[in-house]
Chain A
């Protein structure tokens, strides 16, 4: 038993319980961050390029490492290999057209990006969604979170060598793809939202598909957990690796599961509630959807893995709560708001509907937002995904800034990796869930 760490208390607490857990004294090694100083400064160092085309740098990330043997003395990160000018495009595409660009940001959880983009747009236009739309968007956002976390957890394990966990996670992601295909026809880059509503109403089959997904997924989570949570090799590879303290996490502007794994008590779903996370979301007195926010004080790659797994379970609970209560009624906001296309019945049977339709689709008309600026942020699977919109009243945004969570989280990478070994780079990268589409935009 020597060297085996007690994991009876995994270090995960929920913030509803009030306080963070006190550091577990039964843990044999309370890991403290160390800074590595080479014996001979400026001595016999290697310079090594890690990436941009490296299998473990899932996308195009380049690290220039200074190595003392296997030990990373310093690391300089170069990004931008996937820069595609998304924000420039946002100034030339209208508020609905741009949603397909947001798909390509965090392509692992496209629906979450779609919802965040149109959340900002709706703040700009000042429209209030229908209850049916809110509930469907909430379910889509949580499905996207599960989808994203399953990949992140699996890919992190894969980089360490645990291929099976990756397959368990990846298999179930196929089901969420099916659910999105049923809803909007796309499996991966969904583009499913529109200003003031969704691109289509849900089919009668859809809630059933979501429910059967909810029945399947706990088993997959259970499989992953039993493979990894107490796996000696996995723990040795991840405990204490890439540690960031709570204070540093706040200082580096970290958000999302990475920040919560460092003990930052913040989740926009609770702190700045929107959609069904807010009280009275249906204008009928319904209370906010009930869920817990997992927190950890360990701040290392293992904690990030655990927090993500817990978040999957909480997302499942949210979906199960909501999917039986999808209210009837319209999906899109009413025609008076002049943001949604009118229904086809309306277009084909009334002159007003026809005029509305043409006013919306003609390139010299389109949207008429107020002049001003707005910042809308959602809790995406990776953290705070915000859009800063400036509008000059035209049909396209004057400025469409995306606040990408993994770009901000990735800044701290040099600090996380310095003092560790080359093989730990995979672990830290995997635990941060860097998606280059969102990183470089």
Chain B
């Protein structure tokens, strides 16, 4: 079976959530249709129930969030929203994969956390918060993970310069005598 074939999943979704337009589309339009990775878009307010359904339903059984990341679409051609949090869901039982996107926008990007559904989203959501500044509502321990507490920027945002904003030069130096 092709692990990218998710027709039954999409059928189950439209059956359960008739009012939501998931706009299923390939992540990348490939020449070979069998290699297309299907991505659905979920509005932030419906995310918890859709994700719970995707985990529980017998046609979906997405028991693992293999990857959770974010793309800052600030400079992307034809992008409507800024932050696209992307979930790569895997079913270890049925073997298929589905990509889910949930968008958030400035000034205070926030989407619901999926840690109550999958424990494995824990550090991945912290990483997205740290590097992109997207808050996950309901995360039990949303601290910075890569940079330090007190760091004020979110470095993977497109408007953050490659060489930083001078944090290296303005860092408080602890000298031998200053303690």
Contact = CB atoms under 8 A, between A and B. Distances in A.
A87 B67 contact: no
Given A79-B145, A88-B162, A393-B77, A375 B122 contact: no
Interface in A84-131: 85, 87-89, 92, 123-124, 126
A253 B64 contact: yes
A248 B155 CA distance: 32
A208 B74 CA distance: 52
B37 interface: yes
Interface stretch (A226-234, A308-316, A403-411): A403-411
A134 interface: no
A272 B92 CA distance: 12
A373 B122 contact: no
B16 to A, nearest CB: 23
Nearest to B30: A126
B115 to A, nearest CB: 11
A250 B95 CA distance: 13
A372 B28 contact: yes
Contacts of B160: 88
A253 B28 contact: no
B155 A85 contact: yes
A137 interface: no
A272 B64 CA distance: 16
Contact of A392 (B75, B92, B95, B148): B75
Nearest to B29: A372
B77 A375 contact: no
Interface string B106-134: 00000000000011111110010001000
B122 A411 contact: yes
A403 B67 contact: yes
Interface string B67-82: 1010110011100000
B52 interface: no
Interface stretch (A174-182, A196-204, A263-271): A263-271
Contacts of B29: 370, 372
Contacts of B37: 374-375
A253 B69 CA distance: 14
Interface in A375-413: 375, 377, 384, 386, 388, 390, 392-393, 398-399, 401, 403, 407-408, 410-412
Interface residues of A, number: 47
A345 interface: no
Interface residues on B, range: 35 or more
B118 A408 contact: no
A151 B137 CA distance: 40
A403 B77 CA distance: 25
B156 A88 contact: yes
Contact of B67 (A264, A373, A374, A388): A388
B11 interface: no
Interface string B130-160: 0100000000000011111000000110001
A126 B3 contact: no
A386 B66 contact: yes
A440 interface: yes
Contact of A255 (B31, B66, B97, B122): B66
Interface in B87-108: 88, 92, 95, 97, 99
Contacts of B5: none
Contacts of A375: 27, 37, 67, 88, 99
A251 interface: yes
Contacts of B99: 375
Interface of B: 3, 26-32, 35, 37, 39, 63-67, 69, 71-72, 75-77, 86, 88, 92, 95, 97, 99, 118-124, 127, 131, 144-148, 155-156, 160, 162
Nearest first, the 8 closest Cβ-Cβ pairs linking A and B are: A253-B120, A372-B28, A403-B67, A83-B146, A80-B146, A401-B69, A373-B27, A411-B123
29 contacts: A83-B147, A88-B156, A89-B162, A251-B63, A251-B120, A254-B120, A255-B66, A265-B92, A372-B27, A373-B39, A373-B86, A374-B27, A375-B37, A375-B99, A377-B66, A384-B66, A388-B67, A390-B76, A399-B69, A401-B67, A403-B67, A403-B69, A403-B88, A407-B123, A408-B120, A408-B124, A410-B123, A411-B119, A440-B146
